[in-house]
Amino acid sequence: MNIPKTKARLTDGLVRQNIVLMSGLLIGPVIAGATDFESAAAISVVFSLVTFFSVAVCRLLPRRMVYTVRIIAYALIASALYIPAILACQFLLGEEVIVRAGIYLPILVINHVILSKTETRFFHLSYFQMLLDALGYIAGFVIVCLLTGIIRDILVNSAIGSLSIETGLSLPALETTFGGFILVGVLAGICRAIYNKLTMNNEQLAINKEPVGDDGNRPAEET
């Protein structure tokens, strides 16, 4: 197994093409649904199960099937897989959390990792590479969703789930949709700033590591 390639597959969806903070492909459930840690956990569980197994099944559909029909098949497969996923979530987190997450759980069946990425990216990879790639995207979403839920839970309820954290600060507006938009927007900006800084540093590092010629000059950049 090519380890650097495998690592690149996992980190691509995790950071560089994160579907919440970098490409914004799936932001609605994080903004309006992940209002506390438990709701964020419910969204993460359902999204992970539905997306991973849907992508694994959808990749097996014949490519000669026209896209108009294929997109319907993707949505139907995801909504059929939603049934075991919601039952698993109910078992893990309880009925009350599912009720609190509301419509943000069922709408996860129409997400662009399944509907678009399968088409534009996953079909061009081997089955194993595709599964790794999908895992990277799922992990990227789960981390941001949980992070948003935790930040809101701390700043609104002074707690993370059932664990009480006394902050002496209460910002109930963060629980609302507008609070979610502003919080996710700020997180996206911070994430991009850090990513840009790191990639610039890495590029600088790569330039510094380039071999120096006999004349003491570095080789000219390829154009």
List, in sequence order, the alpha helices (H) in 12-117: 28, 37-58, 67-93, 95-101, 112
User: Min. distance of Cβ 171 from another protein in angstroms?
Assistant: 9
Residue 76 interacting with another protein (CB under 8 A) = yes
Cα–Cα dist 48/56, whole Å: 12
Among 82, 122, 137, 141, binds another protein (CB under 8 A): 82
Q: Which positions ≥6 away from 26 have C-beta within 8 Å?
A: 19, 20, 47, 111, 112, 113, 141
Cα–Cα dist 19/155, whole Å: 24
Here the tokens at position 173 are: 């507006």
Cα–Cα dist 98/218, whole Å: 60
Site for another protein in 92-151 (CB under 8 A): 103, 106-107, 109-110, 112, 115
Site for another protein in 36-75 (CB under 8 A): 67-69, 71-72, 75
Residue 200 interacting with another protein (CB under 8 A) = no
Residue 192 interacting with another protein (CB under 8 A) = yes
User: Min. distance of Cβ 184 from another protein in angstroms?
Assistant: 6
Binding-site residue total for another protein (CB under 8 A)? Answer: 48
User: Min. distance of Cβ 216 from another protein in angstroms?
Assistant: 34
Cα–Cα dist 22/19, whole Å: 6
Q: CA-based angle 81:13:161, to the nearest 5?
A: 65
Between 161 and 185, whose beta carbon lies closer to another protein? 185
Here the tokens at position 51 are: 């997306």
User: Min. distance of Cβ 56 from another protein in angstroms?
Assistant: 19
Binding site for another protein (CB under 8 A): 22-29, 31-32, 67-69, 71-72, 75-76, 79-80, 82-83, 86-87, 103, 106-107, 109-110, 112, 115, 172-173, 176-182, 184-186, 188-190, 192-193, 196
